[in-house]
Structure 1
Amino acid sequence: MKNTGNKASLQVPVLFLVFNRPDVTRQVFEAIRLAKPRQLFIAADGPRKDKVGESEKCRMVREIATNVDWECEVSTLFREENQGCGEAVSEAITWFFMHVEEGIILEDDCLPAQDFFQFCAEMLAYYRHDTRVMQIGGNNLLPEQYRDYEYSYFFSNHNYIWGWATWKRAWDLFSYKMEYYEKVGRKKYHDKYFQSLDEQDYFQYAFDRTYTGIEYPTSWDYQWQYARMLNAGFTAVPSKNLVVNLGYGDDATHTVNSNSVISSLKLEQMDLPLKHPEFVMVDRLRDSEIFKSLCTTRWSRTKQRIKRVMPKALLKSGKKLVKLLH
């Protein structure tokens, strides 16, 4: 194989999740190529039968993702039929951890800085046996005024999956069907986990829809969020933003709003060597700011306050009145 330079190869395995977008796949693959992982796992969902031209796009993507020109062991999981990004992604991650004990996971639209690979490699080793930490994120979505650079990262209860890393020991706790959801809900353990009423309402709604199957075709991240919640597992979030999402647009599954604040994020350079905090505690202030800015609006927060203080009977009467007026 052709030599791409003198840079040391990345020793941590990488899982590259691809589908039908050649342009973004090419950009992310080039970043992986610069990192030169010794092991590269590539998983691709199959084309949808009702989408004209998608078979050709999937073929092009697979060709791009397997164009490895450095010393590397390549493994592939190429689906012939479409499973949807819920099952396809979660099963690909499970397949990945059937072969490795820890690794980095990148989707086809998540462009990493080169520092991302080094950050993940060091963090995977540093917290390898610390079961409190279940995930290493690549994003920092905080505005500058809420950043803290005393340490290289902070701990969060939220998901950061635009480029991330984890261990087999953590992913083994994942359940696509959200095992124990009803039992834990009956015991009302959910109620005290969240740090605000808005957060509780948001995630309860999302978890309910995911558990009942409404979100199953496109969701795996809510199940992963729930698995970490169930096992009190934290995410380590870098102090600098190390991954940007290229996937905004009409052909995206989730990130279709190109006007979103987070679509303007830039890649940043991590200060090295890493400065590890002396404690493992969730930074609730930063979690609160991220949730408020990304998952709520002033109007949605106002509506939740009204729902909390207004008697349920009055709320039901109001809904009936609205229906009659229409």
Structure 2
Amino acid sequence: MEIEIDNKYAPVVAFAYNRADKILGCLKSLENNPEANSTILYIYCDGAKSENGAAKVEETRKALREYKKTAGFKETYLIEAEKNKGLAKSIIEGVTEVINKHQKAIIIEDDLVLSEDFLKYMNGALDYYQDNKNIGVISAYTYPIKGLSEYQKDIYIMHKGDCWGWATWADRWNDADWADVDFQQYFKDKKLRRRFENTENGWDLLMLLQSQGKISSWAVRWVLNLLKNDLWTVYPRYSLVTNNGFDGSGTHSNKSEESHYFAELVKVDHDIIFENLSPDVLLEKQAAVFPRKGFKAGVKYWLKRIYVLFFDLKRIF
């Protein structure tokens, strides 16, 4: 398909699977953005994992085909996978395809609800930081951390990376070499592992599970790549994304364990001022207290950490 490239507005890449109500709610919140009618939307729908799940996947696809007829975007493309790829492969392949056409992209998943300032912020940040090679990612979600209550700037920066409404450029994304990890080297590098774990409790365990083939995560590899290359993430002071998936319906969602991540959407009453700042150490420390999404602080988390310790001892001896 021939697509007219408009560098003013980054395309949005949305990922859906088997939750028709979630993806429709997400896209309708995106339509409330004034920039939506100038934005190209790509929707990637993964295939069913088994025959048992095929009905819900097809229900979601039918809903999206119908939605596409009246969608309020400049152009809407629906890409339906013939077979199940899994979330990691779907995101890696989908983002790569779109970002290499447009050189930048905004990425969302089905359980997000977006502020009507979402696209204005994302496009403004992508333009402002395009030539700042310290910046690897733009995040529209922000953590409900105490330090922001008296914070005076519109944005802050951390060594981190998040997946609830984010954006990047082709050069940063492709530099991840998508995204091979030398696990032997990683597990020998104690300093890197501590830094990685200290951005958000749980990353090091996820890397162990990734190395063992027990999970397949694009995010753990992406954030490690950002950290290794000292690439920073820009966050808004007020969250422009909230998550609607705390009902247990998602692959990695758990109502009881993740509700502390909930952030209310805010209507920004002024033009957001972007600045070239350095990572904020205080805010990084406060954000690091939050366990990695899918992990609960407390006994369960530390039992998982003990599992990592046994892995280290086993590898040494």
Bin for the TM-score computed over the shorter chain: 0.7 to 0.9
Q: Distance in 2 between matches of 1:97 and 1:246?
A: 26
Question: Which residue of 93, 113, 116 corresponds with 1:114?
Answer: 116
Cα pair 1:138 1:161 within 8 Å, conserved: no
Distance 1:285 1:44, change over 3 A: same
Contact 1:110 1:243 (C-alpha < 8 Å) held by counterparts: yes
CA contact (8 A) 2:206 2:220 kept: yes
> SS where residue 30 of structure 2 aligns?
helix
Quote the residue 1:49 is aligned against: 50
SS in 2 for 1:128: coil
In structure 2, what is the equivalent of residue 209 of structure 1? 209
Partner of 1:25: 23
Change (3 A) 1:73 1:203: same
Aligned mate of 2:280, from 249, 267, 283 = 283
Output the aligned Cα RMSD. Answer: 3.1
1:113, 1:242 within 8 Å by CA — same for their partners in 2? yes
Aligned positions of 1:1-326 closer than 5 A: 11-34=9-32, 35-52=36-53, 53-64=55-66, 66-70=68-72, 72-186=74-188, 188=190, 190-191=192-193, 193-194=195-196, 196=198, 202-216=202-216, 219-258=217-256, 260-262=258-260, 264-279=262-277, 281-295=278-292, 297=297, 299=299
The alpha-carbon distance between structure 1 residues 148 and 278, as it changes in their structure 2 partners (threshold 3 A), is farther
Q: Give the alignment's TM-score, normalised by structure 2.
A: 0.81
Normalising by structure 1, report the TM-score: 0.79
**Contact 2:148 2:237 (8 Å CA) reproduced:** no
| Percent sequence identity over aligned pairs | 21
Q: Which position in structure 2 is the counterpart of 1:7?
A: none
Structure 1: 4+ residue segments shifted above 6 A: 300-307
Shift of 1:37: 3.8
Separation in 1, partners of 2:27, 2:234: 24
Looking at structure 1, the residues matched to 248 and 259 of structure 2 have their Cα atoms a distance apart, in angstroms, of: 17
Q: What SS class does the counterpart of residue 255 from structure 2 fall into?
A: coil
User: Alignment length, in residue pairs?
Assistant: 297
Tell me, yes or no, if the aligned pair for 1:77 and 1:92 is still in contact at 8 Å. Answer: no
Q: Which residue of 2 aligns with 1:3?
A: none
Relative to structure 1, the CA distance from residue 238 to residue 55 in structure 2 (aligned partners, 3 Å threshold; closer, same or farther) is closer
Q: Say whether the 8 Å CA contact 2:47–2:83 is kept in structure 1.
A: yes
Distance (whole Å) between structure 1 residues aligned to residue 104 and residue 150 of structure 2: 28
Q: Distance between the aligned counterparts of 1:189 and 1:59, measured in 2?
A: 45
Q: Secondary structure at the match of 2:102?
A: coil
- Partners in 2 of 1:24 and 1:77 — Cα distance? 18
User: What is the CA distance between 1:11 and its match in structure 2?
Assistant: 2.3
User: Structure 1 pair 97/144, CA: closer, same or farther in 2 (3 Å)?
Assistant: same
Deviation at 1:115, TM superposition (A): 0.8
Q: Which moved more, 1:17-26 or 1:187-196?
A: 187-196
Q: Which amino acid aligns with 2:104?
A: E
- Give 2:5's aligned residue: none
| Partner secondary structure for residue 159 of structure 1 | coil
* CA positional deviation for 1:200: 8.6
Give distance in 2, aligned partners of 1:30 and 1:46.
Answer: 23
Question: 2: distance between equivalents of 1:200 and 1:14?
Answer: 27
Deviates more, 1:32-41 or 1:175-184: 175-184
**Does the 8 Å CA contact 1:44/1:78 hold for their aligned counterparts?**
yes
Per-residue deviation at 1:303? Answer: 7.8
Gaps of 5+ in 1: 1-9, 317-326
Unaligned runs of 5+ in 2: 1-7
Cα distance in 1 for residues equivalent to 2:298 and 2:194? 23
Equivalent AA in structure 1 for residue 23 of structure 2: T
Moved more, 29-38 or 289-298: 289-298
Distance 1:250 1:60 in 2: 23
Question: In structure 2, do the counterparts of structure 1 residues 205 and 73 end up closer, same or farther at CA, with 3 Å as the change threshold?
Answer: same
Deviates more, 1:77-86 or 1:58-67: 58-67
CA contact (8 A) 1:29 1:64 kept: no
